[in-house]
């Protein structure tokens, strides 16, 4: 009895994208309510653009009317045939809406397109059939018929909501204070394979707070890694220039050969690695390095780790990469930090459009990607967040910002969880001016 | 003149959440489709469950109808689970009223009748006014009477369970959640015998021990927290013994119960938690952050080995098991669980079983949330656990952790809190039942730890 569409996510999305980023609202479903053509039309009048979808075995036939229509208004119909992933189309009309339906008294009406609801057939002229590349059979029987209203996927109502949400997230993050003020800024480390979008994520976050898109950090294009230095970035608030309560730490990407040294991770987490440290993929940093931070304070340590993955390559990670990621995760947990996952590049997935980003967690293919991360790498689903980086755009997009800021807020919460859970001896005795903060380093030097 | 709802995006989200993460499709909008009852019915009959929403200047009132819209001039159908709600514009706080009513269409009205044939709520579309009876008005905290409205919309609700009990539960969830939270905030261990209750979680690798701790912390915290690392790997993600206190809100006070996380049990010897560690944990000798060694247990020579009289003695053991694996436990794992059980029996503490990853978690509790449903779909797993661990059914608890989703879910919260409450109940029963000299001993221990 449930009134839900028979279209699969993929089929619905194909049609919606074809019609220009629409979303469908189901108005009528034949198998639930058998009615006359007249009553059906009554339901469709004054609904704005509509599409009638007819299911004939493996084929889907759509009749799209772009204009708002009523009884006395002739309309043009765009006929679509969706077969597999191919769409073909043809235009007919203009004619009065009721002329597309066949009623019991004029079953022999001649037309180039006629739906018979009671007989469950569609009749088309040879010309139409040819244009739609259908087999030469003028009468097609169908199993189901549904009518949808086509709304814009993004309308002013939604954009207004998104903009408000963006403001509230921005202010929540600006006013965030690390747990018990143990540090002024929490440090978030970005780890992940080469080209996953770590540097881009920093650029995106910086852009939101700057109020315009910036590409401060060079991002990659090829397959070889771009970031080779360890960089810790602070972001300034747009209004008063004060630093925001977090820092993003960008590392060299992980790679099957070369890339970030696994042994460096521990040193980064414990705060030994200085800003601008030049990574050497052959050997990890050592105490003898001139800028090695021997006695890091709590503020120098990493308080939160985000593993960044490109959604499009998650199923193709090599075994070596999976092993490295699992090891890096163990290392993170060993240092008391619970890692989260940021999934990038969902915007470049097949069929995903800008409007989908608003409700990205409901998108079937994105859910599948998250499940793949869960399955392949063993992260809990609740620890995986979708982000959407600025790549080529010039203007800020509140839709992307909302996604990135929501993830950032979760990262800050994780940092708080870390600080709250610190063993007392690892908290700096900052109220004693010259207290030597050795406790920390004694814990952190690897044997 | 586009057919778009008058709800803001935020209000729409709030409504979707209230109904349990559903989708809404706008079927009828009075300003576009006309104001007669006929216009409304033309678009709303046979559309499955719906919600009818009317807009006033500052408030929005809605009526949910489970199953198809009533049809014109039909005789009374049996009462269905319709319910009413109200929210002020630009807020997400929704007041709900659950009443069993029968909706009926008469010539020009949509009316909801209560069991005593009393009008509870009615809409007269062509006049754009509605009636609110005292009974309903009181629950929604507004004035009763006849008022005008600006607009009426009807949405189809997709993805809602076709079950009156479910509707009753989701509408009552917020209230029950606060009651439970209040009860647990006021919890004091039985007769003040101990100052803090320690609950130990034991179970196979990946069964959801750490997730349960995060879940409990998250409910009290108000958003997802992740202090314990979770995830899956061949060996246990949790490598340290951890004692977690539960804070009430950010910077809040610690509640008088602690959850103790351990490394997962493995069916192989020399892998996973060492069974010989368990007696030390139970006595409270195991220091927080102790790094487990799967090959050999802790000894009293360990630098942080706590002396038993002062330590964090365990009062309750929860065997944590993934409900979907119970019927496929290997015989080695069953043997291991029985060994563990043996150790726990020796110490005589309270025991419960916690079955995680329950997919239909919203069906576990009765409609009033007070008990587990007799007809729970997991009967066979419950029986199996009872057989393996010999734990009475009332102490076999079902839960779904915050593991697949981080969005707050009141029904999930209720189950998590109910499970915790049940554990504390088991502890109280155990404390009450202690022989007198043990009581002294426990009391002395708690005295000492207070002095400490
Ligand atoms: N479409 C899309 N492209 C992205 C996104 N994030 C990153 N990219 C692109 O992915 C490429 C690599 O991005 P980087 O930010 O350099 O990746 P990285 O992780 O810093 O890489 P290394 O520094 O080499 O380790 C760039 O071409 C980005 O434009 C995203 O969310 N969507
Ligand atoms: N769907 C669902 N998944 C869960 C639940 N509890 C845990 N999980 C998932 O199961 C996996 C293991 O959960 P953990 O909490 O790490 O299990 P654990 O018992 O602490 O495991 P170890 O510490 O490795 O022994 C994670 O991916 C969780 O997301 C649950 O109630 N429901
Ligand atoms: Mg980079
Ligand atoms: Mg664990």
Which strands, in side-by-side order, build the sheet including A139-141?
A: A113-116, A121-124, A139-141
Banded pLDDT at A444 (limits 50, 70, 90): very low
pLDDT value, residue B96: 86
Residue A208 Cβ contacting ligand 1 at under 6 Å: no
- Residue B447: the pLDDT is 46
Task: Please provide the average confidence, as pLDDT, over all residues in chain B.
Answer: 90
Q: What is the pLDDT of residue A39?
A: 87
Backbone angles phi, psi at A431, to 5 degrees: -80, -5
Asked if residue B452 has pLDDT above 90, the reply is no
Residue range of the domain that includes B360 = 189-441
Tens-digit pLDDT profile for residues B13-45: 999 988 888 999 999 999 999 999 999 998 999
Smallest Cα–Cα separation from B125: which of B101, B149, B144, B155?
Answer: B149
Chain A residues touching B264 at Cβ < 8 A: none
B59 or A439, higher pLDDT: B59
Query: Is B3 inside any structural domain?
Result: no
To the nearest whole angstrom, how far is the Cα of B372 from the nearest Cα of chain A? Answer: 26
Concatenate the DSSP letters of all residues of A157-181 into one string: HHHHHHHHHHHHHHHHHHT---GGG
Model pLDDT, residue B161: 83
A422 touches chain B (CB under 8 A): no
Kindly state whether residue B386 falls inside one of the protein's structural domains.
Answer: yes
Do B325 and B421 share a domain, yes or no?
A: yes
In the DSSP assignment, the letter for residue B104 is: E
B407 and B303 fall within a common domain? yes
Q: State the pLDDT at residue A439.
A: 45
B446 in a domain, yes or no? no
The answer, yes or no, to whether residue A40 has pLDDT greater than 60, is yes
For residues B119 and B212, state if they share a domain: no
3-state secondary structure of A149: strand
Reported confidence tier of residue B94, pLDDT bands at 50, 70, 90? confident
Q: Read off the pLDDT of each residue in A133-144 and give the average, rounded to a whole number.
A: 88
Averaged confidence pLDDT in chain A: 90
Residue B452 in any domain: the answer is no
Please give the tally of structural domains in chain B: 2
The answer to whether residue B137 is domain-embedded is yes
B143, B160, B177 — which closes off a domain?
B160
Beta strands in B159-306 (DSSP E): 197-202, 242-247, 254-261
Pairing of strands A243-250, A75-83: unpaired
Averaged pLDDT for residues B326-348 = 95
- Residue B252 inside a domain? The answer is yes
Q: Which residues line ligand 2 (CB under 6 A)?
A: A 380; B 203, 205-211, 230-232, 236-238, 263-264, 356-357, 400-401, 403-404
Q: Output the pLDDT for position B109.
A: 92
pLDDT (0 to 100) of residue B311: 61
| Per-residue pLDDT reduced to its tens digit, A196-214 | 999 999 999 999 999 999 9
Q: How many CB pairs under 8 A join A and B?
A: 113
pLDDT in tens, B160-177: 887 888 888 888 888 899
Q: Whose CA is nearest to atom 6 of ligand 2?
A: B208
User: Which structural domains are found in chain A, ordered by start?
Assistant: 9-103+112-152 (no CATH), 156-424 (3.40.50.300)
- Residues B133 and B208 grouped into a single domain: no
Check pocket membership of A223 for ligand 1, CB cut-off 6 A. no
Residue B304 lies in a domain: yes
pLDDT, tens digit (0-9, with 9 covering 90-100), for A388-437: 999 988 999 999 999 999 999 999 999 999 999 999 888 875 544 444 44
**Pick from B54, B51, B45, B49: nearest CA to B64:** B51
Pick the more confident residue, B348 or A446. Answer: B348
- What pLDDT was estimated at residue A216? 84
ipTM of the complex: 0.92
Average of per-residue pLDDT across B274-298? 95
pLDDT at position B195 is: 86
Judge if B126 and B219 occupy the same domain. Answer: no
In A330-407, the DSSP E strands lie at 339-344, 384-386
Same domain, B47 and B140: yes
pLDDT digits (tens, 9 = 90+) for B183-240: 999 999 987 778 899 999 999 999 999 999 999 999 999 999 999 999 999 999 999 9
Instruction: Give CA–CA dist A372/A354, Å, rounded.
Output: 23
B130 and B202: one domain?
Answer: no
pLDDT in tens, B242-251: 999 999 987 7
Q: What is the pLDDT of residues B122-171, one digit of tens each?
A: 999 999 999 999 999 999 999 999 999 999 999 999 998 878 888 888 88
Mean pLDDT across A220-224? 69
Q: Is the predicted pLDDT of residue A223 greater than 90, yes or no? A: no
Are B241 and B137 members of one domain? no
Q: Which residues pair with A151 in a beta bridge?
A: A23
Which CATH number characterizes residue B240's domain? 3.40.50.300
- The Cα-based distances of B309 to A258, B280, B302 in angstroms read 53, 12, 17
pLDDT per residue over B387-419, tens digit each?
999 999 999 999 999 998 888 899 999 999 999
Query: What pTM was computed for the model?
Result: 0.93
Q: What atom of ligand 1 comes closest to residue A228's alpha carbon?
A: 23
Residue among A4, A47, A410 minimizing CB distance to B158: A4
Render pLDDT for A360-394 as a digit per residue (tens, 0 to 9).
Answer: 999 999 999 999 999 999 999 999 999 999 998 89
Q: Is the pLDDT of residue B446 over 70?
A: no
Which chain B residues contact residue A338 at CB under 8 A? 226-230
Q: How confident is the model at residue A440 (pLDDT cuts 50, 70, 90)?
A: very low
- Inter-helix orientation angle A364-377/A319-334, to 10°: 80
User: Does residue B172 lie within any of the structural domains?
Assistant: no
Mean pLDDT of A261-270: 96
The pLDDT of residue A104 is 56
Q: Does residue A430 or residue B3 have the better pLDDT? A: B3
Confidence of residue B368 (pLDDT cuts 50, 70, 90): confident
Q: Specify the range with the lowest mean pLDDT, choosing from A48-57, A166-175, B68-77, B170-179.
A: B68-77
């Amino acid at each position: 009895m449930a009134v839900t569409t028979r279209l699969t996510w993929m089929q619905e999305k194909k049609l919606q994208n074809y019609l220009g980023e629409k979303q469908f609202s189901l108005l009528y479903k034949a198998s639930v309510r058998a009615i006359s053509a007249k009553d059906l039309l009554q339901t469709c009048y004054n609904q704005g653009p509509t599409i009638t979808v007819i299911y004939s075995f493996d084929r889907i036939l759509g009749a799209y009317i772009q204009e708002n229509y009523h009884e006395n208004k002739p309309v043009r119909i765009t006929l679509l045939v969706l077969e597999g992933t191919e769409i073909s189309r043809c235009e007919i009309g203009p004619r009065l809406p009721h002329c597309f339906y066949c009623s019991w008294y004029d079953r022999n009406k001649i037309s180039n397109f006629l739906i018979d609801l009671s007989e469950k057939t569609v009749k088309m002229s040879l010309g139409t059939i040819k244009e739609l590349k259908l087999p030469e059979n003028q009468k097609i029987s169908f199993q189901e018929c549904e009518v949808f209203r086509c709304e814009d996927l993004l309308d002013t109502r939604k954009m207004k909501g998104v903009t408000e949400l963006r403001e509230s997230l921005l202010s929540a993050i600006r006013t965030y204070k690390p747990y018990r003020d143990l540090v002024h800024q929490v440090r978030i480390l970005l780890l992940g394979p080469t080209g996953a979008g770590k540097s881009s994520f920093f650029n995106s976050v910086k852009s939101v707070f700057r109020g315009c898109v910036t590409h401060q950090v060079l991002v990659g294009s090829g397959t070889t890694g771009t970031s080779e230095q360890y960089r810790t970035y602070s972001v300034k608030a747009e209004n008063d220039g004060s630093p925001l309560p977090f820092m993003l730490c960008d590392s060299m990407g992980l790679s099957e050969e070369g890339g970030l040294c696994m042994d460096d991770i521990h040193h980064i987490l414990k705060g030994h690695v200085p800003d601008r440290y030049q990574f050497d993929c052959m050997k990890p940093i050592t105490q003898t390095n001139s800028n090695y931070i021997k006695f890091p304070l709590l503020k120098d340590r990493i308080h939160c780790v985000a593993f960044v993955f490109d959604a499009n390559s998650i199923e193709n990670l090599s075994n070596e990469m999976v092993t490295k990621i699992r090891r890096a995760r163990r290392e993170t947990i060993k240092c008391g930090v619970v890692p989260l996952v940021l999934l990038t590049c969902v915007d470049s997935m097949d069929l995903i459009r800008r409007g989908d980003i608003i409700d990205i967690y409901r998108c079937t293919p994105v859910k599948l990607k998250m499940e793949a991360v869960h399955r392949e790498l063993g992260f809990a689903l609740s620890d995986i967040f979708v982000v959407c980086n600025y790549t080529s755009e010039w203007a800020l997009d509140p839709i992307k910002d909302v996604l990135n800021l929501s993830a950032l807020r979760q990262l800050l919460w994780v940092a708080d969880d870390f600080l709250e859970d610190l063993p007392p001896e690892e908290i700096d005795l900052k109220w004693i001016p010259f207290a030597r903060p050795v406790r920390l380093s004694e814990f952190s030097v690897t044997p | 003149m586009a057919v778009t709802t008058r709800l803001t995006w935020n209000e729409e989200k709030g409504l979707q959440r209230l109904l349990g993460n559903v989708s809404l499709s706008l079927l009828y909008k009075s300003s576009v489709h006309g104001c007669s009852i006929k216009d409304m019915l033309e678009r709303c009959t046979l559309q499955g469950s719906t919600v009818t929403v009317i807009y006033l200047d500052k408030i929005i009132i809605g009526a949910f109808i489970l199953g198809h819209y009533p049809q014109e001039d039909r005789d009374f159908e049996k009462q269905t689970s319709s319910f009413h709600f109200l929210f002020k514009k630009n807020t997400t706080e929704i007041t709900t009223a659950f009443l069993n009513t029968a909706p009926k269409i008469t010539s020009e009205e949509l009316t909801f009748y209560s069991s005593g044939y009393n009008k509870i709520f009615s809409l007269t579309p062509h006049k754009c006014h509605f009636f609110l009876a005292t009974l309903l008005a009181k629950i929604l905290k507004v004035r009763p009477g006849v008022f005008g409205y600006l607009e009426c919309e009807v949405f189809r609700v997709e993805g809602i369970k076709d079950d009156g009990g479910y509707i009753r539960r989701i509408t009552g969830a917020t209230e029950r959640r606060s009651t439970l939270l209040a009860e647990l905030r006021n919890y004091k261990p039985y007769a003040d015998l101990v100052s803090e209750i320690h609950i130990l979680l034991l179970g196979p690798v990946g069964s959801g021990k750490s997730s349960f701790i995060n879940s409990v912390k998250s409910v009290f915290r108000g958003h997802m927290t992740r202090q314990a690392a979770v995830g899956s790997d061949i060996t246990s993600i949790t490598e340290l013994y951890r004692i977690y206190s539960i804070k009430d809100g950010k910077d809040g006070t610690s509640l008088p119960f602690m959850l103790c996380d351990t490394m997962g049990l493995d069916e192989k010897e020399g892998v996973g938690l060492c069974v010989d560690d368990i007696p030390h944990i139970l006595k409270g000798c195991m220091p927080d952050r102790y790094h487990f060694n799967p090959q050999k247990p802790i000894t009293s020579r360990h630098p942080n080995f706590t002396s038993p009289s002062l330590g964090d003695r365990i009062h309750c053991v929860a065997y944590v098991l993934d409900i979907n694996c119970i019927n496929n436990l290997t015989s080695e794992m069953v043997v291991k669980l029985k060994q563990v059980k043996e150790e726990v029996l020796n110490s005589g503490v309270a025991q419960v079983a916690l079955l995680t990853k329950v997919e239909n978690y919203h069906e576990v509790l009765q409609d009033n949330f007070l008990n587990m449903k007799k007809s729970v779909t997991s009967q066979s797993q419950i029986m199996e656990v009872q057989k393996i661990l010999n734990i009475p059914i009332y102490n076999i608890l079902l839960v779904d952790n915050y593991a697949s989703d981080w969005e707050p879910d009141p029904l999930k919260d209720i189950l998590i809190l109910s499970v915790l409450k049940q554990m504390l109940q088991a502890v109280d029963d155990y404390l009450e039942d202690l022989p007198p000299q043990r009581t002294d001993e426990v009391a002395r221990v708690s005295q000492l730890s207070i002095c400490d």
